[in-house]
């Protein structure tokens, strides 16, 4: 049954648009590199992780480096989750302490060739958000930005993914910035992707991810109108799907930054946290943490 559309013009508790954060008492990491670092800041808070490419970053990838996680690092991340006895969920499962969701955006072929066998070894499940109109083709939306072109999962690979117990979600038909489209165009991208994937693979598609993490109130209304049970943003924050099911937080999994400003920012964060831990009256020195909205 399709989920009823919500009127978001009424007093709905929405977080700010991507790029703006409200201050409160909850802090959260900006990204995820290892469970040890995550737990230092967030303890055992449930989290949904977001991945894109599962391969070593090419030398020429530039700003796209943040979208690449090597298979070796990915396996190390799963190994430490297993060792620490964190449970890995699928959307729809109830999050509890020490639980985590693995999500992949765009549906790159490397997710099937690299991540899939690692997930099987560790007996973990994940969801991949597919660009319905580009299965088996390439990420042309990234190429226009100067990012590396990569092949996307084919129909046969998606069927293998589903057959192993993993989930699929929708990521529109062509990966546009939905906020830049007319309402009619956005509806076609959102509703059309759900129908196309369900028709092609014969499974219900209940979850959606916003391309580029971009949304506004009427885009969220269209996602509800399409019948999605949940939708994922790129806001770093705890995994709390019940708080607002159409604006679910995710934390980007990425390599540790190598540039000097990021290095110093991380160092200040470490020193600040160290001082705070040993001298409760001291304020943190900043960096490495992110004030986020709590969605109620």
Query: Is residue 74 assigned to a domain?
Result: yes
- Which one has a higher pLDDT value, 171 or 63? 171
pLDDT band for 142, please (50, 70, 90 cuts).
confident
Q: What is the pLDDT of residue 255?
A: 78
Angle 175-15-230 from CA coordinates, rounded to 5°: 50
Average pLDDT, the chain: 82
Instruction: Single out the residue of 198, 185, 115, 209 nearest to residue 157, CA to CA.
Output: 115
Of 23-37, 65-79, 105-119, highest mean pLDDT: 105-119
Q: Are residues 126 and 178 in the same domain?
A: yes
Q: What is the pLDDT of residue 162?
A: 98
| pLDDT > 70 fraction of the chain, expressed in percent and rounded | 75
Q: Are residues 279 and 152 in the same domain?
A: no
Backbone angles phi, psi at 276, to 5 degrees: -65, -35
Query: Is residue 170 assigned to a domain?
Result: yes
Q: Give the residue from 256, 272, 288 where a domain finishes.
A: 256
Residue 140: how many CA atoms within 13 Å on its side-chain side?
10
Q: Are residues 157 and 272 in the same domain?
A: no
- Which one has a higher pLDDT value, 123 or 16? 123
Q: What is the residue range of 292's domain?
A: 260-296
What confidence tens digit (pLDDT) does each residue in 164-218 have?
A: 999 999 999 999 999 999 999 999 999 999 999 999 999 999 999 999 999 999 9
CA distance 87 to 193: 30
CA distance 267 to 274: 10
As given in the structure block, the two tokens for residue 107 are 């549906």
pLDDT band for 61, please (50, 70, 90 cuts).
low
Query: Is residue 2 assigned to a domain?
Result: no
CA dist 194 to 69, 186, 283, Å?
28, 13, 47
Q: Are 168 and 128 in contact (CB under 8 A)?
A: yes
Q: Are residues 80 and 140 in the same domain?
A: yes
Q: Are residues 247 and 287 in the same domain?
A: no
pLDDT (average), residues 149-178: 97
pLDDT at 135 over 60: yes
Query: Is residue 24 assigned to a domain?
Result: no
CA distance 249 to 172: 19
Query: Is residue 172 assigned to a domain?
Result: yes
Q: What is the pLDDT of residue 152?
A: 97
pLDDT at 153 over 60: yes
User: How many domains does the chain fold into?
Assistant: 2
- 3-state SS, 219-257, equals HHHHHHHCCCCEEECCCCCCCCCCCCCCCECCEEECCCC
Q: Are residues 250 and 270 in the same domain?
A: no
Query: Is residue 282 assigned to a domain?
Result: yes
Would you call 134 helix, strand, or coil by DSSP? helix
Angle 143-261-288 from CA coordinates, rounded to 5°: 95
Q: What is the pLDDT of residue 258?
A: 62
- CATH classification of the domain holding 93: 3.20.20.370
As given in the structure block, the two tokens for residue 164 are 């192993």
Q: Are residues 183 and 202 in the same domain?
A: yes
pLDDT at 46 over 90: yes
Q: Are residues 277 and 182 in the same domain?
A: no
CA distance 94 to 226: 23
Q: What is the pLDDT of residue 114?
A: 97
Query: Is residue 54 assigned to a domain?
Result: yes
Q: Are residues 79 and 66 in the same domain?
A: yes
122-131, 189-198, 271-280: segment of lowest average pLDDT: 271-280
Backbone angles phi, psi at 284, to 5 degrees: -65, 155
Q: Are residues 61 and 187 in the same domain?
A: yes
Q: What is the pLDDT of residue 138?
A: 94
pTM of the model: 0.79
What confidence tens digit (pLDDT) does each residue in 236-247 have?
A: 999 999 989 999
Burial of 243 (0-12, 13-18, 19+ CB in 10 A): middle
As given in the structure block, the two tokens for residue 172 are 């529109």
Q: Are residues 287 and 200 in the same domain?
A: no
Query: Is residue 3 assigned to a domain?
Result: no
Would you call 137 helix, strand, or coil by DSSP? coil
Q: Are residues 180 and 269 in the same domain?
A: no
Angle 40-44-45 from CA coordinates, rounded to 5°: 105
């Amino acid at each position: 049954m399709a989920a009823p559309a919500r009127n978001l013009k009424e007093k709905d508790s929405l977080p700010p648009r991507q790029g703006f954060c409200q201050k409160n008492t909850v802090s959260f990491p900006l990204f995820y590199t290892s469970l040890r670092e995550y737990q230092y800041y967030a303890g055992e808070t449930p989290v949904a992780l977001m991945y894109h490419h599962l391969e070593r970053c090419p030398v020429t990838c530039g700003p796209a480096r943040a979208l690449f996680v090597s298979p070796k690092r990915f396996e190390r991340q799963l190994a430490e989750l297993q060792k620490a006895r964190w449970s890995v969920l699928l959307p729809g499962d109830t999050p509890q302490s020490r639980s985590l969701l693995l999500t992949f955006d765009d549906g790159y072929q490397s997710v099937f060739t690299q991540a899939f066998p690692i997930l099987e070894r560790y007996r973990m499940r994940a969801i991949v958000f597919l660009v319905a109109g580009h299965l088996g083709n390439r990420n042309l939306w990234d190429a226009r930005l100067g990012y590396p072109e990569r092949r996307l999962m084919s129909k046969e690979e998606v069927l293998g993914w589903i057959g192993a117990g993993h989930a699929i979600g929708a990521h529109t038909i062509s990966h546009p910035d939905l906020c830049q489209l007319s309402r009619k165009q956005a509806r076609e991208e959102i509703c059309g992707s759900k129908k196309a994937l369900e028709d092609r693979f014969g499974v219900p598609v209940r979850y959606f991810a916003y391309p580029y993490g971009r949304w506004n109130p009427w885009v969220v209304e269209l996602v509800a109108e399409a019948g999605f049970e949940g939708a994922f943003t790129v806001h770093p924050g705890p995994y709390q799907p019940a708080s607002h099911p159409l604006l679910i937080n995710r934390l980007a999994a990425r390599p540790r930054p190598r540039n000097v400003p990021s290095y110093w920012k991380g160092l200040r964060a470490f020193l600040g946290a160290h001082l705070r831990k040993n001298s409760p009256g001291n304020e943190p020195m900043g960096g490495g943490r992110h004030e986020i909205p709590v969605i109620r």
